């Protein structure tokens, strides 16, 4: 398949393109990107169609900051009849002698003005699944060990047909985790921290990383959405912010509100976690993260880097480079992950663990 389709936040197609070209070239794969601002996806057109597998074998989706989901696809089927979209898709798949898939994902871009297209893709899933099964293109029951057939409708009559890699794609539809706003959480930001944990941790790491009554510091905590998540995991939290904390959360008895500057504050004793959601310059936040980790004040951190208007990709690279080199120079071996989450707007979220 000649195209790798990358799903991203609308408006970040440029960063997504820069990143895939850079990562692919490091494994000896070249191509060019086709996209337009705001469409929520990028086509990475490969110079050599055989290279698609190479990219999926050598580049992990988790290493791509600006890509939520990706698929190997062929040139799109265009001017698909709105009367019958099922048959042309089946005909094409049969003519190409495709391997049987374990599931089908009917996708569309997450961009402005696509609500009706999303409704259509939801409704289309049942009839196309039935036809695929009847034609031996889909297993009778879902099989997670097989690749997922991907039908990406960029418009009502244009569909990219390909596959999501069983080992190297998101199991969430469109790469967007469905999170329910937790009852009692004080702000919508709470979902950002929950999504970060879900994105960065495997299910079996959850307890090791969060459980066992740990201690945490939340910088820029008010009104307390992130603190709420930490408390919900059984942690005691120092919440640093000059603003007011949610009263119900304070009644939990697990929160100490510290009225200090988050860039200056350090905890009286070492803690396990430090999280930071302060809106400030990314380099300033990065330096503060370095101070905490190198100083041994915490061993795990989740923080946001709010991106500037211009040169966003470059800024992210510079910040991560700054952190990586400082940690290495100080002899710290760390796991570093970064992603633009669904709940992130003009920012990315990072996770670092000293190991």
Ligand X SMILES: C[S@@+](CC[C@H](N)C(=O)[O-])C[C@H]1O[C@@H](n2cnc3c(N)ncnc32)[C@H](O)[C@@H]1O
Binding residues: 189, 222-225, 241, 261, 277
CB of 311 to ligand X, least distance (A): 23
Write down the catalytic residue from 2, 37, 306, 339: 306
Q: Which is nearer to ligand X, 35 or 232 (CB)?
A: 232
Residue nearest to ligand X (CB): 225
CB of 315 to ligand X, least distance (A): 19
CB of 175 to ligand X, least distance (A): 23
CB of 334 to ligand X, least distance (A): 23
Under 8 Å between Cβ of 40 and 110: yes
Angle at 78 between CA 73 and CA 82, to 5 degrees: 120
Q: Which is nearer to ligand X, 5 or 276 (CB)?
A: 276
d(CA 74, CA 76): 6
How many other CB atoms sit within 10 Å of the CB of residue 346? 15
Q: Which is nearer to ligand X, 133 or 306 (CB)?
A: 306
The residue count of the chain comes to 355
Q: Which residues are annotated as a binding site for S-adenosyl-L-methionine?
A: 189, 222-225, 241, 261, 277
Q: Is 311 a catalytic residue?
A: no
How many other CB atoms sit within 10 Å of the CB of residue 133? 15
Q: Tell me the DSSP string of 168-185.
A: SS-SSGGG----PPPTT-
Report the relative pairing of strands 215-219 and 273-276 from DSSP bridges. parallel
Give me Rg for the CA atoms of the chain: 22
Q: Which residues bind ligand X (CB under 6 A)?
A: 186-187, 189-190, 219-226, 240-243, 261-263, 277-279
DSSP lists the bridge partners of residue 217 as 238, 274
Helices 312-329 + 13-26 axis angle, to 10: 50
Q: Which is nearer to ligand X, 31 or 220 (CB)?
A: 220
Q: How far is CA 31 from CA 39, 48, 53, 104, in A?
A: 20, 8, 14, 27
**Catalytic site residues?**
306
């Amino acid at each position: 398949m000649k195209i790798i389709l990358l799903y991203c936040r609308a408006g970040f197609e440029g960063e997504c393109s820069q990143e895939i070209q850079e990562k692919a070239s490091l494994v000896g794969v070249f191509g060019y990107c086709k996209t337009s601002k705001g469409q929520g996806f990028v086509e990475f057109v490969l110079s050599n169609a055989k290279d698609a597998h190479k990219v999926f074998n050598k580049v992990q989706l988790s290493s791509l900051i600006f890509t939520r989901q990706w698929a190997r696809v062929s040139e799109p089927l265009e001017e698909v009849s709105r009367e019958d979209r099922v048959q042309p898709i089946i005909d094409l798949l049969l003519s190409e002698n495709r391997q049987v898939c374990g599931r089908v994902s009917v996708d569309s871009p997450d961009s402005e003005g696509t609500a009706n297209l999303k409704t259509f893709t939801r409704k289309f899933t049942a009839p196309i699944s039935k036809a695929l099964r009847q034609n031996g293109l889909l297993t009778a029951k879902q099989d997670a060990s097989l690749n997922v057939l991907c039908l990406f409708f960029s418009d009502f009559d244009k569909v990219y047909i390909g596959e999501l890699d069983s080992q190297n794609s998101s199991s969430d539809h469109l790469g967007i985790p469905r999170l329910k706003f937790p009852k009692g959480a004080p702000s919508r930001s709470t979902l950002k921290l929950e999504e970060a944990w879900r994105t960065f941790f495997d299910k079996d790491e959850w307890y090791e990383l969060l459980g066992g009554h740990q201690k945490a510091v939340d910088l820029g905590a008010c009104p307390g959405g992130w603190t709420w998540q930490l408390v919900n995991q059984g942690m005691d939290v120092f919440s640093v912010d000059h603003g007011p904390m949610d009263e119900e959360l304070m009644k939990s008895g697990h929160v100490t509100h510290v009225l200090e500057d988050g860039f200056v504050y350090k905890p009286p004793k070492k803690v396990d976690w430090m999280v930071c959601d302060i809106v400030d310059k990314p380099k300033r936040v990065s330096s503060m993260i370095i101070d905490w980790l190198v100083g041994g004040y915490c061993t795990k951190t989740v923080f946001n880097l709010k991106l500037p208007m211009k040169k966003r990709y470059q800024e992210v690279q510079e910040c991560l480079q700054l952190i990586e080199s400082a940690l290495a120079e100080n002899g710290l071996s760390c796991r570093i992950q970064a992603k633009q989450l669904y709940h992130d707007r003009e920012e990315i979220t990072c996770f670092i663990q000293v190991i």
